[in-house]
Amino acid sequence: MSCVNEEIPPEETSADGTDPGAERHTGEGQTGEGSVPEGFAQRFADHLRAAQSAAATDEESQRAGARPTVMVMAFEGWNDAGAAASSAVRAVGQACGAELIGKVEDEGYYDYQFSRPKVRSTGGHREIIWPSTKIYRARPARAAVDLLLVHGVEPSFRWQAFTADLLTRAAENDVSGIVLVGALLADVPHTRPIPASLSSEDVALQEILEIDEPSYEGPTGIVGVLAHTAAQAGLPAVSLWAAIPHYVGQAPSPKAQLAIMRELEDLLGLTLDESEVAEDAEAWERGVDDLAEEDTEIADYVKQLEEATDTTNLPEASGEAIAQEFERYLRRRKPPES
């Protein structure tokens, strides 16, 4: 584990105390893409390493064979229903001992009446915490890649400059690929596995990960802008979206957070202790069950969603799901590297 210079703080709601993603769009990310097939983390890493080597200079080629670095990004706001995406990336950083290496905090990016600064007291000392985007580095043991974890607040202004700023940071840190993480509200039941899907504009990644290109058209957030701009710049990018039941879209949403963490685990070859989040997810589902029992209209609606989901989806215990879970089990049984 890396030494943590600045502890990754616990997740927060927006400045007015509400979940910034709870009343947002319900379309982006629902493109029919699949989850990561089991055993593909190394192939993903190998593809990124090959792409990096092909573009490397003579000096850079001396580092060939090193683990590729993947930048994983999530932003509070429009792309973060239930705070699931930002919570998942934050949890990965905490689990991997991520170290703060930089910030993007140009005040020209933010409308402080929308993304308000916060006042915090620590040991009698009061300070103002301004909206920003933080960048952390992690080198998790036994993973297929090194990580650059980016999370913060979706900017209000100058998105093109903000995007260029982050992609410049990516180049400075020898990033080989990008994973953009989001969460959206959808017509899905809370009683079934949270749908989490991948897409990419990179044709090679579509083949390697057996996923589709994005098909969504309409308003987009900074996650969509970054994914497209990275692809246009020749930087392999994957988008990961989780669908959250719209009738319980407020933060926190631990069941969706857990779904995202498991997708990242499979995609990046990570080994994460998810027990605490899994317990929170079970408690969250029980709580929603209790609320539904008190409202017959909601209970009937949930039943309709369950029937629709069961009709269109494969059973939860499909061969692929069993194989993925078994692979996670094997990763956790491996002894730590000396």
The pLDDT tens digits of the residues spanning 106-118 come to: 899 999 999 999 9
| SS3 label, residue 240 | strand
The pLDDT, as a whole number, for residue 47 is 87
- Residue (of 143, 109, 140, 139) closest to 266 by Cα position: 143
The pLDDT of residue 32 is above 60? no
> Could you tell me the sign of the dihedral formed by the alpha carbons of 247, 253, 257, 259, in that order?
negative
Long-range contact set of residues 115-124: C-beta below 8 Å, sequence gap at least 24: 115/14, 115/15, 115/77, 115/153, 115/156, 116/15, 116/16, 117/15, 118/12, 118/15
Confidence of residue 138 (pLDDT cuts 50, 70, 90): very high
Total residues belonging to the chain: 338
Q: What percent of the chain has pLDDT over 70?
A: 77
| pLDDT in the model for residue 168 | 97
Of 212 and 312, which is predicted with more confidence? 212
The three-class DSSP label of residue 125 is strand
pTM for the whole thing? 0.81
Q: How confident is the model at residue 123 (pLDDT cuts 50, 70, 90)?
A: confident
According to the model, what pLDDT value does residue 260 have? Answer: 98
The owner of tokens 């991948």 is 198
pLDDT of 231 > 60? The answer is yes
Evaluate if residue 160 carries a pLDDT over 90: yes
Task: Give the tokens for residue 124.
Answer: 């009698």
Domain ranges of the chain: 41-333
pLDDT at 143 over 90: no
Return the SS3 of 136: strand
| Residue 133 confidence class, pLDDT cut points 50, 70, 90 | very high
Look at residue 167 and tell me whether its pLDDT is greater than 60.
Answer: yes
* Residue 85 vs residue 124, higher pLDDT: 85
Question: Average per-residue pLDDT in the chain?
Answer: 84
Mean pLDDT of the region 63-76: 86
Neighbours of 218 (CB within 10 A): 8
pLDDT at 3: 38
Could you read off the pLDDT of 241-277 as tens digits, one per residue? 999 999 999 999 999 999 999 999 999 999 899 999 9
pLDDT band at 312 (very low <50, low <70, confident <90, very high): confident
**CATH entry 3.40.50.10900 includes domain 41-333:** yes
Answer whether residue 226 shows pLDDT above 90: yes
Query: Quick one: CA torsion of 68, 74, 79, 84, rounded to 10 degrees?
Result: 110
Q: How much is the average pLDDT of 41-67?
A: 71
At residue 6, the pLDDT reads: 44
Is pLDDT above 50 for 323? yes
